[in-house]
């Protein structure tokens, strides 16, 4: 599981107690026919087939509704992926806008002015506002069998208000599998996967994957470290439990594998005094809002002494990818360039 913005700790120590809940128990009957007045949830969603709707999600649950959901609420990154396929959502939860009001990296191409934001940080979810949207489906990702960014403290009340579906992006799945399942979900909600944009995006992804394979063969032996910086700790991720890294590894990328993983098995946390424990030629650095970026790390001696840092071989890592073929193709293209141009310095 990636580290949340509100708490860069271990596994579901990421999860803090939930916020205040309103009078939501009586709001258990949620309509699904209303369209957002701001224009979301209409054009492409209206193309969805009528009649009963079912979708088996990656938690093994058969999610169903009387008709194709129109009032969809989603984790921001999942919503951004659906948007790329022409499926609009009515509300989002998760990192959506930055302190200056600009779209967060996880919002992708969405117009965030046209969605209701139920929570912008980890463990924040306005249940009353969610109920007022009359949701008929909640969708999110899953790293460890739970609903990502749905607060543990208010989970039961949230899940009573509408069916929920989750797509696995961690554990035993790789990026190509997470992409296919997200596309399946989008199709079930009315996306036209035969549209030129969708077909071209998938072809671009496949071509980008080939570029990564070519880069690793042309420049063998390049060691890649996946890191995330916080005030007190430097996290080194394992490629074994994240869908993106697992897929990159299958394309020939050679990762530094941390030896002593924290609870949950996603990363090893190192004090800054020990941040140079692992040597690498390229660093993929967590680009999420709330994590430290190269300019923030420049004054830290152990960071500055890392061979990859000295060589200027640092590439942003989209730690929580937007699982559309369009967005993941860009990730692969950037990765191929990084490996192809890297020098052996470790």
The whole-number pLDDT of residue 263 equals 82
**11: helix, strand or coil:** helix
pTM of the model: 0.85
> Nearest to residue 316, comparing CAs of 280, 272, 284, 277?
284
Question: Dihedral sign, CA of 141, 146, 147, 149?
Answer: negative
Determine contact, residues 109/208, Cβ cutoff 8 Å: no
CB 189 within 8 A of CB 181: no
Strand partners, 237: 267
| CA 282/CA 318 separation, integer angstroms | 15
Beta pairing partners, 233: 271
In angstroms, rounded to a whole number, what is the distance separating the alpha carbons of residues 35 and 177?
31
CA 198 to chain centroid, in Å, comes to: 20
Cα distance between residue 320 and residue 29, in whole Å: 33
Residues 269, 272: Cα–Cα separation, whole Å: 9
DSSP code of residue 47: G
Residue-by-residue pLDDT tens, the chain, 346 positions: 555 534 433 333 332 222 222 323 323 333 333 333 333 344 344 444 568 999 999 999 999 999 999 999 999 999 999 999 999 999 999 999 999 999 999 999 999 999 999 999 999 999 999 999 999 999 999 999 999 999 999 999 999 999 999 999 998 999 999 999 999 999 999 999 999 999 999 999 999 999 999 999 999 999 999 999 999 999 999 999 999 999 999 999 999 999 999 988 899 999 999 999 999 999 999 999 889 999 999 999 999 999 999 999 999 999 999 999 999 999 999 999 999 999 999 9
What is the maximum span of the chain, computed from C-alpha positions, in angstroms? 62
Could you say which DSSP state residue 312 is in? T
* Assigned token pair, 343: 């020098």
50-69 residue pLDDT tens? 689 999 999 999 999 999 99
The DSSP H or E segment spanning 165 is: strand 164-168
DSSP per-residue letters across 211-269: HHHHHHHHSTT-EEEEEEE-SSEEEEE-TTSBHHHHHHHHTT-EE---SSPPTTSSEEE
Beta bridge partners of 55: 63
> Residue 48's pLDDT is what?
45
Q: What tokens does 10 get?
A: 């271990």
Residue 146 CA to residue 207 CA, distance in Å, equals 33
The answer to whether residues 18 and 123 touch, using CB atoms and an 8 Å cutoff, is yes
Q: What CA–CA distance (Å, rounded) separates 14 from 197? A: 37
* Residue 89, token pair as written in the block: 């959502």
d(CA 211, CA 292) in angstroms, rounded, equals 29
Percent composition of the chain: helix, strand, coil (DSSP 3-state, to 5): 30, 20, 50
Q: What is the pLDDT of residue 165?
A: 98
């Amino acid at each position: 599981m990636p580290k949340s913005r509100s708490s860069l700790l271990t596994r579901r120590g990421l999860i803090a107690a939930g916020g205040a809940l309103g009078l939501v128990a009586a709001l258990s009957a949620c309509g699904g026919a209303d369209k957002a007045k701001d224009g979301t949830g209409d054009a492409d969603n209206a193309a969805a087939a009528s009649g009963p709707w079912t979708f088996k999600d990656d938690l093994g649950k058969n999610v169903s509704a009387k008709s194709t959901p129109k009032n969809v609420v989603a984790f921001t990154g999942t919503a951004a992926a659906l948007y790329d396929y022409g499926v609009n959502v009515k509300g989002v939860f998760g990192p959506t806008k930055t302190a200056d009001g600009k779209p967060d990296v996880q919002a992708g191409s969405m117009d965030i002015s046209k969605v209701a934001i139920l929570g912008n940080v980890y463990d924040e979810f306005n249940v009353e506002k969610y109920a007022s949207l009359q949701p008929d489906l909640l969708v999110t990702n899953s790293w460890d069998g739970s609903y990502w960014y749905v607060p543990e403290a208010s989970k039961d009340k949230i899940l009573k208000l509408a069916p929920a579906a989750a797509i696995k992006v961690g554990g035993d799945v790789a990026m190509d599998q997470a992409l296919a399942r997200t596309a399946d979900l989008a199709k079930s909600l009315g996306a036209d996967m035969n549209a030129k944009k969708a077909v071209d995006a998938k072809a671009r992804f496949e071509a980008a994957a080939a570029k990564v394979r070519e880069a690793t063969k042309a420049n063998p032996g390049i060691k890649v470290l996946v890191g995330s910086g916080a005030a007190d700790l430097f996290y080194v991720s394992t490629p074994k439990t994240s869908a993106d890294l697992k897929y990159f590894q299958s394309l020939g990328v050679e990762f530094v594998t941390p030896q002593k993983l924290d609870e949950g098995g996603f990363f090893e946390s190192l004090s800054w005094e020990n941040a140079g424990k692992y040597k690498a030629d390229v660093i993929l650095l967590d680009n999420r809002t709330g994590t430290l970026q190269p300019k923030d790390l420049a004054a830290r001696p152990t960071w500055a002494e890392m061979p990859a840092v000295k060589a200027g071989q640092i590439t942003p890592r989209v730690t929580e990818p937007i699982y559309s073929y369009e967005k993941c193709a860009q990730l692969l293209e950037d990765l191929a360039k990084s490996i192809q141009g890297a020098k052996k310095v470790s």
